[in-house]
Amino acid sequence: MRNRQHVNVNAVAFETFTGEMPKIEPGRIIELEIGCADAQFLFERAEADPSRHYIGLEIREPLVKAVNRNAKELGLPVQAIFVHASHHLEKLLPKGSVRHCYLNFPDPWFKRKHRDRRMINEQLLRQLAPLLEPGGDVLMQSDVFDVALDAMHVFETCDDIYENMRGPWTFWKEGNPFGVRSWREMNCEENNMPVWRMRYVPR
Ligand SMILES: C[S@@+](CC[C@H](N)C(=O)[O-])C[C@H]1O[C@@H](n2cnc3c(N)ncnc32)[C@H](O)[C@@H]1O
């Protein structure tokens, strides 16, 4: 399937939510990936433990459809939601319901002039914090140092609601603790590219 590489994330159309709400069974643990693309990371998590919900948010609708088709074929509890996450995250899931949130290689926008398109911004992070379980956490990883640093800047600006697990302004150096890799992470490893990671917990 061919997918447009990027969409205009600033388009007015994304301000209205037209996707389907996730179907959540009470009592099941929720893992959330924002910007999931093909959701490889979530599919591998779901294979390892199918008792949880794995919710992927994605702004490219054809990818959302493909993920949901695959989930049905494989019988795995992965659901992709068509959404601009910064506009609508807070209404998608119950408060205090997310055990792990993944921000895996979120931005294809390397250039400074495209900063206003970046997915990780204060609007997103302020909606995310109340959705996390007490004791839940957020992993952010990127192969672009500027993108990682910008993301850290946003998290550290929100230090009233997030705590860096390694101390303020500090990267997580112990690698990816979740045992599975997204498509982009797999590519980085195969090409020996460095990956910058950070982990935060809600206060
Ligand atoms: C570079 S890809 C990384 C995909 C996957 N997480 C991985 O690591 O392989 C970033 C994804 O985030 C999506 N995205 C960007 N901005 C978004 C937004 N505001 N809301 C939802 N998805 C977004 C893009 O469409 C793209 O699929």
* Range of the structural domain that residue 134 is part of: 18-202
- The CA distance from 56 to 39, in Å, is 7
* Distances 41 to 38, 44, 149 between C-alpha atoms, Å: 8, 5, 23
Q: What is the pLDDT of residue 1?
A: 42
Q: Does residue 166 fall inside a structural domain?
A: yes
pLDDT in tens, 128-170: 999 999 999 999 999 999 999 999 999 999 999 999 999 999 9
Q: Does residue 104 fall inside a structural domain?
A: yes
Provide the number of structural domains found in the chain.
1
Q: Does residue 152 fall inside a structural domain?
A: yes
Residue 107 annotated as catalytic: yes
Q: Does residue 5 fall inside a structural domain?
A: no
Q: Does residue 92 fall inside a structural domain?
A: yes
**How does residue 105 score in pLDDT terms, banded at 50, 70 and 90?**
very high
Choose which residue among 60, 90, 127, 182 to substitute to test ligand 1 binding: the one with the highest number of ligand atoms within 8 A of its C-beta.
60
Residue 32 CA to ligand 1 centre (angstroms)? 13
Q: Does residue 68 fall inside a structural domain?
A: yes
The alpha carbon dihedral of 68, 60, 141, 134 has a sign of negative
Q: Does residue 7 fall inside a structural domain?
A: no
pTM: 0.95
Catalytic, out of 107, 116, 137, 150? 107
Q: What is the pLDDT of residue 10?
A: 85
Mean local confidence (pLDDT), 28-32: 98
Nearest CA to ligand 1 atom 16: 119
Does the pLDDT value for residue 4 go beyond 50? yes
Q: What is the pLDDT of residue 109?
A: 61
The CATH number of the domain holding residue 192 is 3.40.50.150
Residue 107 CA to ligand 1 centre (angstroms)? 6
Choose which residue among 5, 8, 9 to substitute to test ligand 1 binding: the one with the highest number of ligand atoms within 8 A of its C-beta.
9
The label of the residue with tokens 């643990």 reads 29
Mean local confidence (pLDDT), 67-84: 98
Does the pLDDT value for residue 83 go beyond 60? yes
